[in-house]
Each structure stands twice: as C-alpha cells, then as structure tokens.
C-alpha cells in the first residue's frame, strides 16, 4: 500500500526539520581552511615565497592547514624543511598539516627517501584534506 502525503504533511515535515537544525533549516558550513598552493619546480632558489606563505598560514589559530602540491613537478630539501617546520608548529597546538596531491613521482620520492611520508599527512587531494578537519 502506497503512502501519500499532503502538502500540509510536507510543510509540517519541513517545519520539524527546520526546528532541528536551526531557524532557517540550514546546516552551518565549516570554517574555511587555509590552503597554500604551490606549482612548478620548488627548490632553494624559489622556495622562499612558498615558505613565507606557509609560515603565515600556520601562524593563525586554524586547526588544519592544507598544502596543495598537485602541480609541483620538483621539490627539494628546502621545501621539505618548510613543511616539517609547519607540521611541528601546528602539532604543538593540536593542529595538523595536510599535504594534498596527487603528488608527482619526484615529489613523492622526496617524502619517501626522507621517510617524511610516514610522518606527514599525505592525502589524495584537497577535498580529502578538508575531510580531516
């Protein structure tokens, strides 16, 4: 037997839902998460800007900072140093740093050789990183 609902029943259901989640029925959206994006080759000669942007992002009160490296083709130890410093800064106050990919083979190799892949939070993409919050 099919059950039908009248327009009044639907209105009552909406009213009940609205009361449960807030005055307008909306679910509060999560606070924006800082995302530091880098592109191309990052090495000693050009990683200073990246390190400064990362330091600014981790100096706030945000519990999560995302670093997007999906379009980075090369990274050296200066980048790794900046990421480890940011990770420690956030960890000290109970936050976390997420490294979003997909990572190029050479960037992943840097994390693998240094064994930082077992220490840093490497995730598939920015959306996966957002889910960490």
Residue 26: pLDDT band by 50, 70, 90 thresholds? Answer: low
Neighbours of 40 (CB within 10 A): 11
Give the DSSP H or E segment for 113: helix 105-114
Dist. CA 114–CA 119, nearest whole Å:
10
- 122: how many CB neighbours lie within 10 A of its CB? 21
The whole-number pLDDT of residue 24 equals: 53
Which three-class secondary structure state does DSSP give residue 39? strand
Q: What is the pLDDT of residues 56-87, one digit of tens each?
A: 999 999 999 999 999 999 999 999 999 999 99
CA distance 89 to 81: 12
pTM of the predicted structure, to 2 decimals:
0.77
Per-residue pLDDT tens over the stretch 103-123 = 999 999 999 999 999 999 999
């Amino acid at each position: 037997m099919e059950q039908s609902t009248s327009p009044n029943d639907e209105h009552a259901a909406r009213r009940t839902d609205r009361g449960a989640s807030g005055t307008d029925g909306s679910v509060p959206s999560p606070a924006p998460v800082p995302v530091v994006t880098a592109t191309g080759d990052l090495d000693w000669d050009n990683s200073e800007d990246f390190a400064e942007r990362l330091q600014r992002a981790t100096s706030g009160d945000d519990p999560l900072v995302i670093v997007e490296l999906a379009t980075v083709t090369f990274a050296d130890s200066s980048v790794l140093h900046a990421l480890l410093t940011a990770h420690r800064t956030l960890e000290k106050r109970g936050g976390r740093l997420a490294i979003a990919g997909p990572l190029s083979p050479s960037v992943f190799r840097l994390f693998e050789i240094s064994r930082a892949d077992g220490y840093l939070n490497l995730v598939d993409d920015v959306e996966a990183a957002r889910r960490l919050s």
